[in-house]
């Protein structure tokens, strides 16, 4: 795959999966709610040195907590702490209805908002605004910004110690490396929920990570929109060969699953609706190519596949 810098435009899409994570989160939530209702006893961690109530023990506990490089273990009489990794569909669903009278919630994730992924493709071409598809965690679960024992930490979990009931974390300081070095800390948990999703798959194809843009996060959609508009404007500036214009305005979408097809459709609509009117000098140079190794929308009904294919071809997609 060629370098794209300010040249043509390519997008890499991983296959989307059903919203099963949010459903699994609902079931976990039911079990946590049952547990919280049996409120009399918050579970004591078997390993915890902090389970006696004597003054000496309390003093020792405070001392030990002081030395803990992060959020130390909960003590007897305190709410149990649910640590959730991730602010995606699963994590957000779980935190939304978590009974915060029975639990403190601590969320660790490299982004502070949930992304409504089904609408992400529409933001790439301006049909929807970015803020319409991102919901801040503090609005989903206000306790993380208000309750004394609940927090959101902008960090990545880098390791889990199930014996010690702790996780290792490293802050996310993307783009601020010059002024702020990332630092490490630990969080002790009573319950740990993994909702950190899955890595985007490149199917082992070289160059994808360096040269293409994934479509999973709001900043991906922003980058796609930025590059699309930049290339449209650059191709209108005098001094460019015909070939170079075609290259700048060739949009390649890799992956013919629901996301790839939806994005290609959005792009085609954008070309027919906006480009033809607002960039009419270059309208004949822009093309969309959708690449799929098998059939597009392979998990869908044959009639739907045929309809989608016909529609895309009709709408200038190759």
Ligand X SMILES: Cc1cc2nc3c(=O)[nH]c(=O)nc-3n(C[C@H](O)[C@H](O)[C@H](O)COP(=O)(O)OP(=O)(O)OC[C@H]3O[C@@H](n4cnc5c(N)ncnc54)[C@H](O)[C@@H]3O)c2cc1C
CB of 22 to ligand X, least distance (A): 7
Distance in angstroms (rounded) separating the CA atoms of residues 253 and 10? 6
Residue nearest to ligand X (CB): 88
CB of 46 to ligand X, least distance (A): 25
Distance in angstroms (rounded) separating the CA atoms of residues 14 and 121? 13
Virtual torsion, Cα 49, 50, 53, 55, nearest 10 deg: 90
At which residue do the structure tokens 């991730």 appear? 86
Letter string b/e over residues 131-152, b meaning 16 or more CB atoms within 10 A of that residue's CB: eebbbebeebbebbeebebbbb
Our CB check for ligand X shows the closer of 62 and 176 to be 176
Which residues bind to ligand X, rule: CB under 6 A? 16-19, 21, 85-91, 108-111, 117-118, 120-121, 156-157, 195-197, 215-216, 259
Query: Helices marked H in 39-108 — which ranges?
Result: 55-66, 89-96
Our CB check for ligand X shows the closer of 223 and 244 to be 223
CB of 28 to ligand X, least distance (A): 12
Our CB check for ligand X shows the closer of 57 and 200 to be 200
Our CB check for ligand X shows the closer of 89 and 189 to be 89
Distance of CA 69 to the CA centre of its chain: 28
Distance in angstroms (rounded) separating the CA atoms of residues 77 and 178? 43
Distance in angstroms (rounded) separating the CA atoms of residues 141 and 144? 6
Distance in angstroms (rounded) separating the CA atoms of residues 21 and 194? 11
CB of 192 to ligand X, least distance (A): 11
Map residue 250 onto helix, strand or coil. Answer: strand
CB of 240 to ligand X, least distance (A): 32
Our CB check for ligand X shows the closer of 91 and 265 to be 91
Our CB check for ligand X shows the closer of 78 and 161 to be 161
CB of 76 to ligand X, least distance (A): 29
Our CB check for ligand X shows the closer of 117 and 147 to be 117
Angle between helix axes 302-314 and 258-270 (nearest 10 degrees) is: 30
Sheet holding 287-291, edge to edge: 213-214, 9-12, 250-254, 287-291
At which residue do the structure tokens 């990545």 appear? 156
CB of 93 to ligand X, least distance (A): 8
Map residue 180 onto helix, strand or coil. Answer: coil
The DSSP output letter for 1 is: -
Our CB check for ligand X shows the closer of 16 and 127 to be 16
CB of 255 to ligand X, least distance (A): 10
């Amino acid at each position: 795959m060629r370098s794209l810098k300010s040249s043509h435009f390519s997008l890499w899409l991983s296959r989307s999966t059903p919203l099963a994570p949010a459903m699994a989160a609902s079931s976990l939530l039911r079990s946590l709610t049952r547990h919280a209702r049996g409120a009399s006893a918050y579970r004591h961690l078997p390993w915890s040195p902090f389970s006696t109530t004597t003054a000496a023990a309390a003093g020792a506990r405070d001392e030990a907590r002081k030395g803990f490089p992060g959020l130390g273990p909960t003590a007897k009489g305190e709410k149990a702490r649910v640590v959730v990794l991730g602010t995606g569909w699963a994590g957000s669903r779980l935190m939304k209805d978590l009974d915060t009278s029975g639990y403190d919630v601590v969320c660790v994730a490299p982004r502070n908002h949930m992304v409504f992924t089904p609408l992400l493709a529409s933001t790439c071409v301006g049909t929807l605004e970015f803020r319409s598809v991102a919901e801040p965690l503090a609005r989903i679960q206000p306790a993380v910004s208000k309750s004394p024992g609940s927090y959101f930490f902008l960090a990545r979990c880098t390791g889990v110690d199930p014996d010690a009931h702790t996780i290792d974390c490293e802050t996310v300081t993307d783009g601020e490396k010059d002024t702020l070095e990332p630092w490490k800390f630990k969080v002790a948990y009573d319950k740990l929920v993994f909702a950190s999703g899955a890595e985007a798959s490149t199917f082992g194809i070289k160059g994808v990570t360096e040269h293409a843009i994934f479509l999973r996060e709001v900043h991906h959609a922003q980058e796609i929109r930025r590059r699309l508009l930049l290339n449209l404007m650059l191709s209108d500036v005098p001094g460019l060969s015909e070939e170079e214009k075609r290259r700048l305005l060739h949009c390649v979408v890799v992956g013919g699953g629901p996301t790839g097809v939806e994005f290609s459709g959005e792009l085609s609509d954008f070309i027919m609706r906006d480009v033809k009117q607002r960039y009419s000098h270059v309208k004949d140079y822009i093309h969309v190519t959708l690449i799929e190794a098998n059939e597009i929308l392979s998990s869908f009904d044959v009639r739907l596949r045929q309809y989608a294919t016909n529609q895309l071809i009709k709408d200038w997609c190759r």
